[in-house]
Amino acid sequence: MQSRPAFGLPVANLQRSIRFYRDQVGLEIDNDTTSPGTALLTTPRGNQILVAGPDAPPWDDILDDPYTVHPQNDKIFISDPEFDERLERLSGIDRSRYELIEREWGDRMLEIPDPDGYILVLSSIRERSRAEIVELLRWGQRDLRRLSEGLSDAELSLRPDDSSWSVREVIHHVADIEITVQHIVRVALANSGIEYRSNPPDLNHYARELRYQERNIETSLRQVDVIRDQLMELVELVPDAWERSIRSSTGTETTVENNLHMLATHTLEHLAQINDVRVAIGKSPISLITGD
């Protein structure tokens, strides 16, 4: 028996949301027969989000424990292996209603506002060899430090606006994700195939409670260095390390390779975010990956 979804998405009009996600975007979403007033959104990778209208039961009764409810105006990230087909589907829609982002390292994203103000972010991560993944991990490790150099303590804490993070906050977030992925990889290497039940984080809550804005970035930068060095050592030493895996509570399998690839691209996205902050506070952006 599968567990209930761990993610909730509150909406004002359930049928409007179903039409948006199913008819406009082309994702799989159906009325949930087990919980009135809800619909089950299944991502192309098999993960599930429970979309709940005003008449839905309390979250404690319909979501797994622990769970995360997306806050208003949140970004909903979905990895999409059918990205090109999705882009073709949207070609007949007014271009101003979505944004195509093409990264210099070859990955692409579609940002589509939904009717309730959430931003649906569909991503296409290009295929990479294991050597390329290791190279990206090393580039990201180096550039995280490079992009913070030359910024004063005050500049590290500047936010472009009330809804954005500072460079300091981004760096501490990246370091926290390193801890999470490191643990997942260690569990997969030691107990391949085991069910892994994570505690989905509320990222802004973490930023507040873990005092991102008050902490020195050097400890987090060193943490990233140590964790990546350890991960690279482990995948070299453990037989068949890249193929070892964990299962989510809904049965989705992710390999060590999947997790390391995600970690590498996650950091690159936040490096781009740091460059955006640099520009917003009047500093020059720094070229990524090339070292220029």
- CB under 8 Å to 23, separation ≥6 — which residues? none
Structural contact between residues 200 and 248, judged by C-beta atoms closer than 8 angstroms: no
Whether residue 66 has a cis bond before it, omega within 30° of 0: yes
For the chain, how far is it from start to end, CA to CA, in angstroms?
52
Mean predicted lDDT score pLDDT of the chain: 91
Look at residue 114 in the predicted model and tell me its pLDDT.
94
Mean pLDDT of 135-156: 94
Range 42-65 average pLDDT: 91
Tell me the C-alpha distance between 6 and 64, whole Å: 5
- % of the chain residues with pLDDT over 90: 72
Stretch 17-29: mean pLDDT = 92
Separation of alpha carbons 171 and 212, rounded Å: 9
pTM, 2 dp: 0.83
pLDDT of residue 222: 97
Determine the Cα–Cα distance for residues 271 and 277; give it in Å rounded to an integer.
Answer: 10
- The domains found in the chain, sorted by start residue, are 7-124 (3.10.180.10), 130-280 (1.20.120.450)
Strand, helix or coil for residue 126: coil
Q: What does the pLDDT look like over 83-136, one tens digit per residue?
A: 999 888 887 777 778 899 998 888 999 999 999 999 999 999 999 999 999 999
pLDDT mean over 70-91: 88
